[in-house]
Structure formats: structure tokens, C-alpha cells
Amino acid sequence: MELNFKHQLGLLCVTLLLPALCTSQDSFTCSRATYYGSPDCYGNSRGACGFGEYGKTVNDGSVAGVSWLWKNGSGCGACYQVRCKIPQFCDEYGAYVVVTDYGEGDRTDFIMSSRGYSKLGRNTDASAELFKYGVVDVEYRRVPCRYGGYNLLIKVHEHSRNPHYLAILILYHGGTYDVTAVELWQEECQEWRRMRRAFGTVFDAENPPRGDIKLRFQLSGNAEQYWVQSKNVISGNWEAGAVYDSEVQLG
């Protein structure tokens, strides 16, 4: 059967529009998601973001590893709404997950904890059916992280050694902006000094300033970039494992 030019043009337009429909409607992007198993269905405490136990239990364990959304580590802590596309099984709101790890799958943007993946389903039975699929088509969008009652926290990494080496990680990163840089204040030079992104959400500095340490964070997203300074300091007698409240909220 031959198609005339008008029909061919119509088919071409439909074909070209399909991806656009997926990415424009409510700002959702099409992809695929799968899950990984763990004894307690929570996240991985050894995830590439460097969160430790926080990365296992934050958001009640509904977390995910990502690939291109990883953004060289600046994607750590980002929050996404993910919903699958099998009407008889999938919840219309889907799952809300926090990025805590890096992971690559079979054309998947999300490798979710079992706890997070189960929330794609409308109910327990529907979730069980989705687990049988193993991999499902999804659509996702970035959403603000909301941590009621929590400011952004700064934790001194376990490998830190006062006064020679300071490494920090960022917890309860709210909003929709990525933390793309961290700087500490050098009082003797009267200037900000850039910390190195060691991996994931861990930033470090050799020979940090003595005494209390002021920090500021560069936030990037939505085609803009700005700095937020912590209202609190890391005390001069800091030690590994200590947690400091920045007294600011992002987002």
C-alpha cells in the first residue's frame, strides 16, 4: 500500500513529536527504572555519594543510584518524582527518591532501592507485579527536597585529621539546586579558598585554616548560580564525625 505525501508528512510529524510530548508534559522525562536488593530493602550505606548511613536511611530508605543524572557527584542529594507507566499497576504519583549512589543499568536512569521501587505500585499486590518485571518504563522530574525541621548539615568526614586534613559532606540538601562548589574562608589572606570535590558530595582541603572555619556553598540550577554562606562555623577543635548545623536551608 502506498501512502500519499500528506499521509507521510503526518506520520513524520507524529514520530518527531513523540519524544517532545514525553519531555514537555508537566516537565517529565521518559526513561526506565530497575531496583537492587538489600537485606532490609533500604539503600546502600557505601554508595558513591559518600553519605554513609545517611544514604541508607534518608527519605525512609527510598533512594536511588543514577548514571547521567550523577553530574560528577553534584547530582548527589537531588530528589526526583518517578512514576511508571503500566496503568493497572502504577500509582499516579509514583515514588519520591533521593540520589545517594551512582549506578548504570540497561538504559535505566534510576536503580532504586527495593523500598523506593515498591512505591511505584498502586498497592502491595501491584508492587509485587512490578518486581516481576525487573525493569519498567518510567517518567521522572526533579522536585524540591523537603526535610521538615532540618537545616543543611555539615558532617566532618571520618577520614579527617585535625589540623592537617579536613573533609566534609553535605546532608539534608533541600531545594532543587545542585551544590557545585564549596569554599572556606582564609582569614590571613582575606579570601575564599576552593575546596576539592573528593568524590560524590565529599569536599576536602589540605592544611585548612586554624581556628573556626567559615564555609560557603555555590548553588547551580535553572540557568543561574549563586552563593550561600553558612551562618554557623566549624569550630576550631573539630574532629571526625562531628556534625554542624549551617543554620541555613537551601530551596
Digit-coded pLDDT (tens) for 164-203: 999 999 999 999 999 999 999 999 999 999 999 999 999 9
pLDDT of res. 105: 86
Residue 19: band (very low, low, confident or very high) from pLDDT cuts 50, 70, 90: very low
CA pair distance 248, 152, nearest whole angstrom: 6
Digit-coded pLDDT (tens) for 142-157: 999 999 889 999 999 9
pLDDT of res. 25: 53
pTM for the predicted model, two decimal places: 0.89
Digit-coded pLDDT (tens) for 206-226: 999 999 999 999 999 988 999
Partnered with residue 137 across adjacent β-strands are 32
Residue at grid coordinates 521518559: 30
29-36/110-113 β-pairing: parallel
Has residue 12 got a pLDDT over 60?
no
pLDDT of res. 21: 46
Please compute the mean of the pLDDT values over residues 87-109 and round it to a whole number. Answer: 96
Asked whether the beta carbons of 28 and 94 are under 8 A apart, the reply is no
Residue 63, SS3 per DSSP: strand
pLDDT of res. 213: 98
**Which segments of the chain are extended strands (E)?**
29-36, 63-66, 79-84, 95-102, 110-113, 136-143, 153-156, 165-171, 178-186, 191-194, 196-199, 202-206, 215-221, 224-229, 243-245
pLDDT of res. 39: 84
Q: Is the dihedral of CA 146, 151, 156, 158 positive or negative?
A: negative
pLDDT of res. 38: 86
CA pair distance 139, 222, nearest whole angstrom: 20
Digit-coded pLDDT (tens) for 30-86: 999 999 988 899 999 999 999 999 999 999 999 999 999 999 999 999 999 999 999
Q: Per mean pLDDT, which range of 1-10, 22-31, 88-97, 168-177 is the poorest?
A: 1-10
Please compute the mean of the pLDDT values over residues 116-137 and round it to a whole number. Answer: 98
Partnered with residue 224 across adjacent β-strands are 221
